[in-house]
Amino acid sequence: MDNNCKNLSVTTVNKASELINPLDEALSLEQAVEPCTMVIFGAHGDLTKRKLIPALYSLYSQRLLPDSFCVIGLSRTQMNHDEFRLSMCQAMHEFADDVPIDKDTLAQFANCLYYLPTNFGDNKAFSALSLLIDELKVKHQTRGNNIFYLSTPPSLYIQIVRQLALASLAGTKSGKKTPWPRIIVEKPFGRDLASARLLNQELHQVFAEHQIFRIDHYLGKETVQNIMVLRFANGIFEPLWNRQHIEHVQITNAETIGVEGRGAYYEEAGNLRDVVQNHMLQLVSIIAMEPPVSLDSEDTRDERSKVLKSIRPFDLTKLDQYIVRGQYGPGCIGGQKVPGYRDERNVSAESQTETFSALRLYIDNWRWADVPFYVRSGKRLAKAITEIAIHFRRAPHRLFHNTREGEALDPNVLVLQIQPDEGISLKFATKQPGPTTHLRWLSMDFAYDTAFGTTTPSAYERLLHDCIMGDASLFARTDAVEQAWELITPVLEAWAAGPRLDFPNYSAGSWGPQASDNLIAGDLNAWRHL
């Protein structure tokens, strides 16, 4: 039915003169940021080149970094400062597609980059880091504030945290406000409940919770943040945002890409650990949370955490009724033949790793009792799209019964499109012009790019900026991480102990296994055709 919808466009209400000038906004934010050094562990890795350096450069070019700022990159590769600078400038040209590059600005930015070849197990290396930090504190006036970014394989996290403590770099759990240390931890944050708890304990030996910033890049996506604004800055949605008016919620996270050379990592992770435990559950928590008391980071995180705590644990005796999994075989995407998962590099020919999962969740609280939240997520699906669709209850009485069969029965659907083509659309019934009454389902669309005429900043840009500002709202707190693992770990254990599945069970380029359709069909619902 959605395919037949005709699009209406909306215009922004603001007059040009009322729009905020981004530079004015940037200048006012700049006054609030404090000087600091960012120390990146794993600085020669993919994440630094593809995401961190482009995000930092973009902030720098918008004057959103403090004037007194520098970066120290650490990894095992032997390089000097100049070679590191050159390598990061090359990475900018190779990977920063969405960031306009100005040659002079990039050269100035590169002057703030430093490098130290480091073996992370070596105490002496951390003394050398300490000396460099002291030197740059004077040279760049960073006042001793440090952000440590863990972008290494997770197996090194605990070692690095301990080394920071030994070198007296982690600093002030004493409660002194300045200088401050902060630590950013990349996902995966543990691989089950026990390992996540251990990592949290280790971090808490050295850092206070407000100094720990666990990155979930989905929380930094512009459209995800807009969910809060849509829900809590408008008066019209919140009265409808509950079990009385919402029949179910569908979250789709479909990727056309495969494991992209990360077969070894993915074999150990699988879809549930890779995206459901973190990104998907964060989306559920934002959609379902209560209005926070304020935008203070603890208030918003309290509300997200309450949602995770209220998700009904899976009934392990009937697991297949609540969660199903799949693995892609060979297929065709965009006219191109693509290999099956088991044919990817570093993947076992008998792999039982899931590349797809579909879940039916219930949130046991007053607002959401008995409203199913369906979540599907997978690689090598038919289309790359992430969206949240809120399906409202149908009109209670079928007044237009003379219309064509089925056409009056559709529900209103509010779609929050996270990517690509970020936007919001609302599907509703109208009368088709003519002497008889025929209904037509239309969609009223808001698209970010046409409304604002700018590209949306990357999630990393927003998250790095927030960390520099000391705002942890968009980062995962200890309790939320552990609650998510508490939900997911029993499933992983049951799957590991259960019989082997007949994988692959979906073709690349399809919408996943038949079991996913059956899961939702059991409630007389169907996945949206995207």
Which residues form the catalytic set? Answer: 279
* DSSP letters for 141-183: T-TT-EEEEE-S-GGGHHHHHHHHHHTT-S--TTS--SS-EEE
Would you give the binding string for ligand BG6 spanning residues 486-525, x where CB under 6 A is met? ----------------------------------------
- Using rule CB under 6 A, residue 388 touches ligand BG6: no
Residue (145 or 386) nearer to ligand BG6, CB:
386
Whole-number Å distance between alpha carbons of 475 and 454 = 25
Residue (167 or 280) nearer to ligand BG6, CB:
280
147, 185, 275, 480: which one binds ligand BG6 (CB under 6 A): 275
Residue 160 backbone phi and psi in degrees, to 5 = -65, -40
Whole-number Å distance between alpha carbons of 427 and 430 = 10
Whole-number Å distance between alpha carbons of 192 and 484 = 9
How many C-beta atoms surround the C-beta of residue 524 within 10 A? Answer: 6
Residue (116 or 388) nearer to ligand BG6, CB:
388
Would you give the binding string for ligand BG6 spanning residues 334-373, x where CB under 6 A is met? ----------------------------------------
Residue (222 or 255) nearer to ligand BG6, CB:
255
Residues 290/309, Cβ–Cβ less than 8 Å: no
Write down the least CB distance from residue 448 to ligand BG6, Å: 16
Write down the least CB distance from residue 274 to ligand BG6, Å: 5
274, 303, 387, 422: which one binds ligand BG6 (CB under 6 A): 274
Write down the least CB distance from residue 480 to ligand BG6, Å: 16
Whole-number Å distance between alpha carbons of 212 and 174 = 15
- Residue written as token pair 């069909």: 521
Side-chain-side CA neighbours of 6 within 13 Å: the count stands at: 6
Residues in 168-227 that interact with ligand BG6 by CB under 6 A = 217
Whole-number Å distance between alpha carbons of 56 and 38 = 10
Whole-number Å distance between alpha carbons of 307 and 289 = 6
Write down the least CB distance from residue 386 to ligand BG6, Å: 6
In three-state form (DSSP H/G/I as H, E/B as E, the rest C), the secondary structure along 412-465 is CEEEEEEECCCEEEEEEEEEECCCCCEEEEEEEEEEHHHHHCCCCCCHHHHHHH
Residue (171 or 270) nearer to ligand BG6, CB:
270
Whole-number Å distance between alpha carbons of 152 and 142 = 24
* Separation in Å, CA 306 to CA 58, 196, 364: 35, 19, 11
Write down the least CB distance from residue 410 to ligand BG6, Å: 29
Number of residues that bind ligand BG6 (CB under 6 A): 5
Write down the least CB distance from residue 261 to ligand BG6, Å: 11
Residue (386 or 505) nearer to ligand BG6, CB:
386
Q: Which residue, 464, 460, 339, 465, is CA-closest to 46?
A: 460
How many C-beta atoms surround the C-beta of residue 78 within 10 A? Answer: 8
Q: Strands 146-150, 36-41: parallel, antiparallel or unpaired by DSSP?
A: parallel
Residue (282 or 386) nearer to ligand BG6, CB:
386
Write down the least CB distance from residue 275 to ligand BG6, Å: 6
Write down the least CB distance from residue 55 to ligand BG6, Å: 13
Q: Which residue, 528, 472, 18, 419, is CA-closest to 215?
A: 472
Residue (132 or 492) nearer to ligand BG6, CB:
492
How many C-beta atoms surround the C-beta of residue 265 within 10 A? Answer: 14
Residue (22 or 261) nearer to ligand BG6, CB:
261
Would you give the binding string for ligand BG6 spanning residues 234-273, x where CB under 6 A is met? ---------------------x------------------
* Separation in Å, CA 399 to CA 5, 245, 408, 439: 22, 19, 9, 12
Whether residue 313 has a cis bond before it, omega within 30° of 0: no
Write down the least CB distance from residue 219 to ligand BG6, Å: 11
Residue (92 or 381) nearer to ligand BG6, CB:
381
**Cβ-closest position to ligand BG6:** 274
Residues in 53-82 that interact with ligand BG6 by CB under 6 A = none
Q: Which residue, 87, 18, 104, is CA-closest to 46?
A: 87
Amino acid present at 528: R
Write down the least CB distance from residue 387 to ligand BG6, Å: 12
Q: Which residues bind ligand BG6 (CB under 6 A)?
A: 217, 255, 274-275, 386
